[in-house]
Amino acid sequence: MYMDNAYWHNSHRDFKDQKHPLFVGSAGVYHLFTRPRLPTHRPRGRLDYQLLYVAGGKAHFYFHGKEEIVTAGNMVLYRPKEEQRYYYYGVDRTEVYWVHFTGNNVKNILRKYGIPDSAHVIHTGTSLDYKKIYLRMIQELKLTRPHYEEVLVRYLELLLTMISRLQDQKPKNKNMFLTDEMNLAVSHFHSYYNHQINIEEYAKKHGMSVSWFIRNFKEYTGSTPTQYLLSLRISNAQSLLESTSYQVAEIADIVGYSNPLYFSRLFKKQCGVTPTEFRKQFS
C-alpha cells in the first residue's frame, strides 16, 4: 500500500474553524496494491468536511446504512458529524485522494459551486488534474511556505470550480456504455501504467475504433490516452521521489522506463526540473 498525507500543524485532530470562510486542515492519498483491506468507520463523523476522489479502482461507501460502490471518476462528500463508513480492497487496486476542510461559510460555498446539500456522490469524470491538485495540497501542508494556508484554499476552490464546470457542461455523449468503457480503460491504465500499453491494440481488443476511443477518452478525462499514461507515470514518479529513497534509475524502471536518461529528459520536460532537483525540494 502507498500512502501519503499531511496535516495542518502536524495535528491529526479534526477541528471546526469559525474565523475563515474556508480553511483546509489536511489532505492525503491511499493506493492499495497488496494490502487486502483498509476500513474506515467514524460512527460520529468528524467536525469538518471531507471530499474524497476515487482516482482508480473502486471503493465501498455506506450512506444511511446502505452500501454504494463508487468507481473511479467520482467524488464523495461527507459533512460534519455525519457517520463515515467506507472500505478499500487491494483486489480493486483502489486509489483515493482526500481533503478535510472547514470554515464559517462552507455550506454556501458548496452551493455556489452547484453541490446540493444532500449530495454524497458527485460524478466528476477521471482527470489527472484532480490528482495534481490533491498532491499540491499535500505538498503545501508539508512545506508550510509563506501564505500556504491561503494557497490551500485557492487549490480547493480550483477543485470545486472544476467540479462545477463539469456539471454545467452536460457532455453530449453521456451514456452508460461510454461511461463503462472509459472507466474500464482508466482502471486498466492505472493497473498497468508501468507496462507497455499499445493504444491501438487496446481499442481493437475492446471492440472500438482507435479514433472513437481516443476522441471519447479525451472528452471523458481531458487527455488523450497517451498523454494520460505519461502524466500517470510522471505523477507516480513524483510520489516515489518525495516519499522513498529509491535511486532515479530504480524509479524510472518502476514507472515503466528502462532507460533512466530518457526518463529524466521526459521528467524535466513535464515538470521543469530533473528528478534529482525535484527530490532536493523535499530534503
Is the domain of 203 the same as that of 111? no
Mean pLDDT of the chain: 91
- The residue with cell 522513498 is 244
User: Residue 110 is placed in which grid cell?
Assistant: 458548496
Q: What is the pLDDT of residues 201-249, one digit of tens each?
A: 999 999 999 999 999 998 888 789 999 999 889 988 887 887 788 999 9
Q: What is the pLDDT of residues 11-26, one digit of tens each?
A: 999 999 999 999 999 9
Is the domain of 13 the same as that of 152? yes
Specify the CATH number for the domain of residue 243.
1.10.10.60
Is the domain of 133 the same as that of 188? no
Among candidate residues 169, 186, 209, the one where a domain is terminated: 169
Residue-number span of the structural domain to which 189 is assigned: 176-280
Among candidate residues 136, 169, 202, the one where a domain is terminated: 169
Among candidate residues 169, 203, 237, the one where a domain is terminated: 169
Is the domain of 33 the same as that of 92? yes
Is the domain of 89 the same as that of 195? no
Residue 47 has pLDDT above 80, yes or no: yes
Half-sphere exposure of 248 (CA within 13 A, CB side): 17
- pTM value is 0.78
Is the domain of 127 the same as that of 258? no
Indicate the burial class of 261 (C-beta count within 10 angstroms; 0-12, 13-18, 19 or more): exposed
d(C-alpha 68, C-alpha 59), whole Å: 8
Q: What is the pLDDT of residues 121-164, one digit of tens each?
A: 998 887 888 988 999 999 999 999 999 999 999 999 999 999 99
The CA–CA distances, whole Å, from 222 to 8, 130, 226 equal: 31, 11, 12
Is the domain of 218 the same as that of 135? no
Is the domain of 201 the same as that of 156? no
Is the domain of 77 the same as that of 202? no
Q: Count of domains in the chain?
A: 2
